[in-house]
Amino acid sequence: MHPILRLVSRNVTISLNPGFLIWQVIFPLVYIFVAGFAYAPLIQGVELGPKDLDYPAFLASGMIGFSVMNSTLVSGIIIWNDRRHGMFEQIMSGPFTRGQYIISNICTIAIIGLISAAFILAVGIPIFFEDVELSPFTVPLIIFGAIAGSTLFGSLASIISTRLRSSEGFNVIINTVFLFFAFVSTAFYPAQNVQEPLRTAFYLNPLTYLVDVIRAGIFGNINMFVVVEIVVLAGIAGALFVAASRLLMRLNV
């Protein structure tokens, strides 16, 4: 088996544990079916281009991007645990290179991100099926969003894991950063009615671009602003991937 495939198999095996699966599955479902319908009377008629979505449909589509972001935590956790338990040194002393280690991590989070997106999409379709417009032009956009978002947030988690030495610091920073991304974004609330400066903060958050791109793919709302968001999402993902790769290449064994 190719070294990268061996590392990907190992990463997926250690990542898909019961606790992670519960977090990835139960948490989004609670938000979709509890918060979505509970807040529906308060948030009505969310405009998305020519469409007028109800809040459960808006939230269910946003949870796809949220789930993709959450799934990328495994990248930082894998690197952190490898360093903490001496596995990184053992891998580097075996028939593996740093480049293969980096590529395997990116492949792992891309696979888990796509699986997470597919699952939430399958669960959410009954909620927003009246407005969904999946086509050969929009499905690739959803796939692009899931892969680009996985690369972006996985690279960010990798950067954090390489810069921190204590487990307490790692857990505090990673959870604080991702919690900020989750709630200061369009994943849960529409941006058009948000007051400044919070609205500006929404568009300084990469999760907003990920969620907007995936929503555009689901509901067929592809316009010039979405094209700009695609470019921004790809640019940030590429920059963070390069930064994470350089840090991992210089990481002491």
Q: Taking residues 140-149, what's their average pLDDT?
A: 90
Q: How far apart are CA 202 and CA 188, in angstroms?
A: 11
User: What count of other Cβ atoms lies within 10 Å of the Cβ of residue 43?
Assistant: 17
Q: What percent of the chain shows pLDDT beyond 90?
A: 13
More confident residue, 166 or 59: 59
User: Which pLDDT belongs to residue 148?
Assistant: 92
Rank 31-35, 46-50, 57-61 by mean pLDDT and report only the highest. Answer: 57-61
Calpha distance 2→225 (Å, rounded): 41
pLDDT at residue 73, rounded to an integer: 76
> pLDDT at position 1, please?
65
Q: What is the share, in percent, of the chain residues with pLDDT greater than 70? A: 94
Q: Which residue is associated with the tokens 């088996």? A: 1
Domains of the chain, by residue range, sit at 3-249
Which of 145-154, 176-185, 186-195 bottoms out in mean pLDDT, i.e. has the lowest?
Answer: 186-195
Q: What is the mean pLDDT of residues 200-208?
A: 91
Averaged pLDDT, 223-244: 93
- The answer to whether residue 49 scores a pLDDT higher than 60 is yes
Q: How confident is the model at residue 242 (pLDDT cuts 50, 70, 90)?
A: very high
Q: In whole angstroms, what is the distance from residue 49 CA to residue 46 CA?
A: 10
What average pLDDT is seen over the chain? 83
HSE toward the beta carbon, residue 96, CA cutoff 13 A: 25
The mean pLDDT of 66-86, rounded to a whole number, is 80
Going by pLDDT thresholds of 50, 70 and 90, the confidence category of residue 86 is: confident
Q: Which two tokens stand for residue 25?
A: 């599955």
pLDDT digits (tens, 9 = 90+) for 28-43: 777 787 777 777 777 7
Q: What is residue 240's predicted lDDT score, i.e. its pLDDT?
A: 92
Q: What tokens were used for 109?
A: 């989070």
pLDDT(253) > 60: no
Amino acid occupying residue 152: L
Average pLDDT over residues 93-113: 84
What is the chain's percent helix, strand, coil content, to nearest 5?
75, 0, 25
Q: Which band of pLDDT confidence, cut at 50, 70 and 90, is reported for residue 238?
A: very high
159 touches 239 (CB < 8 A):
no
Q: Specify the range with the lowest mean pLDDT, choosing from 9-23, 48-62, 74-88, 156-170.
A: 9-23
Q: Are the beta carbons of 113 and 149 closer than 8 angstroms?
A: yes
Say whether pLDDT at 176 is over 80. Answer: yes
